[in-house]
Amino acid sequence: MNFIAFSVRDDERPYFEKWAQVNNVKVDLHSEEISEDNLDTIKGYDAVIGLQTGTYPLGLFAKMQEYGVKDLSIRNVGVDNIDLAAASQKGVTVTNVPAYSPNAIAEFAVTQLMQMLRQTRTYRRKFAEQDYRWAPYISKELRSMTVGVVGTGRIGRVFIQIVQGFGAKVVAFDPYRNPELEAAGLYVDSLEELFAKADAISLHMPATDQDKHIIGQEALAQMKDGVYLVNTARGSLIDTKALIAALKSGKVAGAALDTYEAETPIFNHDLRNQALTDETFKELISLDNALVTPHIAFYTETAVKNMVEIALDSAKSVLETGQASTIVNA
């Protein structure tokens, strides 16, 4: 059994190597992403192990069929950058990692919300300027707020537990309701109702074509003045230009964004000494009330280990049994 893994970072290598040794499976590691230019490198392997935010190449599944590669196992949750119909048509099984560490992302979302409430970015700038005055940047306490949670899957539920621990009131929306949260009376009937009630809103939902720019000019207008917004889910959920306008006007008091709708050429790249060409991104990160991070909410030791091991276990299971609990194109 031979695997080829792409987009492998140095922090992942020990987990790949240990798994390969324990399971007696050959796993060749490559640092580059899967692209149209390197598709022929998959020849001779049984499974491809991938991880990338950009779209998987259109010709991938035809090549996998041609070379008899049976499985694409991705080391993350989201499959919005994969043509699942094409994979099925070519007889390729696709698996994901549905839960590598909900706590990692939920904890980060709360951390960023707290940073916004305490205006740490503004104070860091003032400190660098040797301005040590307090006023007028007085803070809010989380326990005095109503927090709206959009999406109550694994990550959303952990997020709810954490903010409730601070004493915050929670309202939630998800078309697929969790029975325990339903019994606790946390759900509202619509996004519009959540927008009207929440002092802060955190997104924990997948990206679909239907949900693109679900947070846009119209949704922002329905929110409370001075609302706080957190997005550790998918960049495409937010219309960035509309958000920038709301941040500038004060409609949105602060936005913590760990994703950006055009992040692929920016995040996880060393762009030091290079001019940024994305004018929207440049404007966004220039704002004191925008707290932007490069898609790092997941990035903990526990999460990385689980992402590698679950992806490899899934590929092995598909090849040995034709089944895995993580198949997404069944």
Which residues are catalytic, by number? 234, 263, 295
Residues in Cβ contact with 114 at an 8 Å cutoff, skipping those fewer than 6 apart? 142
Residue 99 CB neighbour total at 10 angstroms: 14
The backbone torsions φ and ψ at residue 220, rounded to the nearest 5 degrees and listed phi first, read -60, -35
Closest CA to 219 of 199, 246, 183: 246
Classify 12 as helix, strand or coil.
Answer: coil
At 281, list the tokens.
Answer: 């991104």
Q: Which long-range contacts (CB under 8 A, 24 or more apart) does 266-274 make?
A: 266/294, 267/53, 267/294, 267/295, 268/53, 268/294, 268/295
